[in-house]
Amino acid sequence: MKQRRFLVLEDGSCYPGYAFGSEKDAIGEIVFNTGMTGYQETLSDPSYTGQIITFTYPLIGNYGINEDDFEGVHPGLKGMVVHELAEHPSNFRCTKTLDVALKEFDVPGIYGVDTRSITKKIRNAGVMRGTMVKNADNLDEIVASLKAYELPVDEIQMNSTKEIKKYAGEGPRVVLLDFGFKDNILAELLKRGCEVILAPWNTSAEEVLAFNPDGIMLSNGPGDPTSVPEAIETIKQLIAQENLPMFGICLGHQLISLAGGATTYKMKFGHRGANHPVKDLATGKISLTSQNHGYAVNEDSLSETDLVATHRALNDGTNEGVKHKTKPVFSVQYHPEAAPGPHDANYLFDHFVDMMKAVQGGKQHA
């Protein structure tokens, strides 16, 4: 027998549907994702910590869940909203249904709702708080509690590794500062033979340099980039080093920009999906990209810094990349590891490795 569940938004909207996944209630920031596939990578992406995801694609769960495509060990999302839930998936790698996976992760879901209406509402009004409840008879009380709910500000600390982890490789040594990294970022570095040292978000510049790295990778992550001023100061000190390549992805892009003196802002509804066109300002080339962010770099603020814009979103003109004028430092707002998503931007990892090899010279590692 189907169990009723209600999705309530802070503007008073109430969407009746049916429950799947965990039986618990949920509260968080409601956002939408436009990807046609990749729900497994999406639900396990640390950048969704604290959020309820609405999928615009109507059928979700049709190829089930496998053991290989998770992007994080402990999903941080608060809930999932779908129009039609596939209860009988079909795929040779499938080991369980989406319903079973969400039960295991203790994440509630709701299906049978008008996801198009929800998406249009978010596009018009912007992201807002939402909650999933079993009973919505006391709607006024639910809305009042939603408006009083304070969104978390420690998402980065929640997701970052707590200890140093080392991954062997014969190539350049990379310190990967973890703000909530996706597994495929690490996989792309290892695929290219890099030795990787995964370090907590608050590792100091002195500690990073003690590893004698050939390059620094700044990972993606959830939340407001201005919430970690100590990390911004660390990045500023690392950028000041001579010939130390640095590559930032998503949140890492925003942190490089803040460290360089630019500013960021919260977007109305963000970019979340695997089909966002981005223009390379130097070549004019257009790439389709995978994105997941609710904050952006204010491109006008770059004029007073040593950073220049390199990429721009075609849909709304927002900044999608920067590079330093004199240092081997660059970053992009989108996800070149593309899990899920197109592989148009995967070459950026090769560019980073080539950059490290160019400055590595005869450098010896301990």
The per-residue pLDDT string of the chain (366 residues; one tens digit each, 9 = 90 and over) reads 899 999 999 999 999 999 999 999 999 999 999 999 999 999 999 999 999 999 999 999 999 999 999 998 888 999 999 999 999 999 999 999 999 999 999 999 999 999 999 999 999 999 999 999 999 999 999 999 999 999 999 999 999 999 999 999 999 999 999 999 999 999 999 999 999 999 999 999 999 999 999 999 999 999 999 999 999 999 999 999 999 999 999 999 999 999 999 999 999 999 999 999 999 999 999 999 999 999 999 999 999 999 999 999 999 999 999 999 999 999 999 999 988 899 999 999 999 999 999 987 646 566
Same domain, 138 and 165: no
Same domain, 293 and 352: yes
- What pLDDT score was predicted for residue 360? 73
**Residue 228 and residue 225: Cα distance in Å, rounded?**
6
- Is 184 labelled a binding residue? no
Domain count within the chain: 2
Same domain, 177 and 131: no
- What pLDDT score was predicted for residue 21? 98
**Residue 16 and residue 337: Cα distance in Å, rounded?**
37
- Is 76 labelled a binding residue? no
**Residue 80 and residue 57: Cα distance in Å, rounded?**
13
Beta-strand relationship, 84-85 and 59-60: parallel
Residue 32 lies inside a defined structural domain of this protein: yes
Same domain, 169 and 23: no
Residue 72 lies inside a defined structural domain of this protein: yes
CATH number at residue 135: 3.50.30.20
Residue 27 lies inside a defined structural domain of this protein: yes
- Is 221 labelled a binding residue? yes
Residue 87 neighbours by CB under 8 Å, 6+ apart: 61, 97, 99
Same domain, 236 and 94: no
**Residue 17 and residue 288: Cα distance in Å, rounded?**
34
Residue 365 lies inside a defined structural domain of this protein: no
Q: Which of 152, 136, 190, 159 is nearest to 4 (CA)?
A: 136
Residue 278 lies inside a defined structural domain of this protein: yes
Q: Which residue range forms the structural domain that includes residue 268?
A: 155-360
Which residues lie across from 287 on neighbouring strands? 278
Residue 366 lies inside a defined structural domain of this protein: no
How far is C-alpha 154 from the chain's CA centre? Answer: 15
Dihedral over alpha carbons 266, 272, 277, 282 (to 10 degrees) = 50
> In which residue are the tokens 């059928």 written?
59
Query: Which pairs with CB-CB distance under 8 Å and at least 24 residues apart come from 65-68?
Result: 65/40, 65/89, 65/94, 65/95, 65/96, 65/97, 65/98, 65/100, 65/101, 66/40, 66/91, 66/93, 66/94, 66/95, 67/93, 67/95, 68/93
- Is 47 labelled a binding residue? yes
Quote the tokens at residue 181. 């990294």
**Residue 244 and residue 180: Cα distance in Å, rounded?**
23
H or E element at residue 102: helix 98-105
Same domain, 114 and 214: no
Same domain, 300 and 215: yes
Task: Out of 99, 124, 148, pick the residue that ends a domain.
Answer: 148
Residue 263 lies inside a defined structural domain of this protein: yes
- Is 251 labelled a binding residue? yes
Beta-strand relationship, 264-280 and 286-297: antiparallel
Same domain, 61 and 104: yes
Task: Out of 131, 148, 165, pick the residue that ends a domain.
Answer: 148
Beta-carbon count within 10 A of 138 CB: 11
- What pLDDT score was predicted for residue 1? 80
CB 283 within 8 A of CB 254: no
- What pLDDT score was predicted for residue 364? 58
Same domain, 134 and 241: no
Q: Give catalytic residues, as residue numbers.
A: 250, 335, 337
For the whole model, what pTM was predicted? 0.96
Same domain, 70 and 10: yes
- Is 292 labelled a binding residue? yes
- Is 254 labelled a binding residue? yes
CATH number at residue 173: 3.40.50.880
Same domain, 39 and 138: yes
Beta-carbon count within 10 A of 219 CB: 27
Task: Out of 100, 130, 148, pick the residue that ends a domain.
Answer: 148
- What pLDDT score was predicted for residue 74? 80
Residue 83 lies inside a defined structural domain of this protein: yes
Same domain, 248 and 181: yes
Q: Which of 12, 113, 93, 109 is nearest to 53 (CA)?
A: 109
Q: Which of 321, 327, 244 is nearest to 276 (CA)?
A: 321
% helix / strand / coil in the chain, to the nearest 5? 25, 30, 40
The one-letter code for the residue type at 54 is: T
Query: Which pairs with CB-CB distance under 8 Å and at least 24 residues apart come from 303-310?
Result: 304/261, 305/257, 305/260, 305/261, 305/262, 306/260, 306/261, 307/256, 307/257, 307/260, 307/261, 307/262, 309/281, 310/280, 310/281, 310/282
